[in-house]
A and B are shown apart, each in its own frame.
Chain A
């Protein structure tokens, strides 16, 4: 099992540019989560999908952030336009059916917005 796969590993962009982060969850997992990690705020849940449907997006900071899950094996998190305060590590995680307490994280995308 390859685990949760995220791309890119690193992204450096300029303020105002569009950024798209990608995630492939573990096959068979039906829940997908996007988290953001910063030194100041720790791990923050941004959005949660169950069976490809967004269930809870209350953690999405602003309308500049959007997430999609077009099928069970792919999700994207988009920031448009990006700002320097969006700089963080973004993690995608998936969990087996009915086991939201057991998260499997990807290796993250280190985003730097200059």
Chain B
């Protein structure tokens, strides 16, 4: 059973546009929601993360929006650039208990067209 459901599977955006990737979860015990970025031939790298006590977190062009009641969170990439082309994974974990299992979504392959 997929603990974190991610959509879309792939996304094509024009340079300068907004990329939006959505994730949903069921386990209300999750208390940390990171996004990882993976370029071809590389391992995933932590991009940005949010805790459920805030509704939004912004770092540069990357923003996480979090809806606790709907159990959904999304990544917005503003002014998307060709260099943002990568696969993005959302994830969730119960960090406060020292849990070891970071549950990943299935990934979204983003292509930004020049």
- Prevailing SS type, chain B contact patch: loop
Q: Give chain B nearest CB distance to A26 CB in angstroms.
A: 12
User: A93 and B98 in contact (CB under 8 A), knowing A42-B106, A42-B107?
Assistant: no
Does B69 touch A at the CB level, under 8 Å? Answer: no
Could you tell me which residues of chain A, from 39 to 54, have a CB within 8 Å of some CB in chain B? Answer: 42-43, 45, 48, 50
> Within 8 Å CB of B104, what residues of A?
42-43
A: contact size bracket: 20 to 34
Report whether A91 and B95 are in contact in the complex, using a CB–CB cutoff of 8 Å: no
| 23 A-B pairs in the complex with CB atoms less than 8 angstroms apart | A43-B44, A43-B89, A43-B104, A45-B101, A45-B102, A48-B100, A48-B101, A55-B100, A56-B101, A100-B95, A100-B99, A101-B32, A101-B34, A101-B49, A101-B93, A101-B95, A102-B34, A102-B46, A104-B46, A105-B42, A105-B43, A107-B42, A108-B41
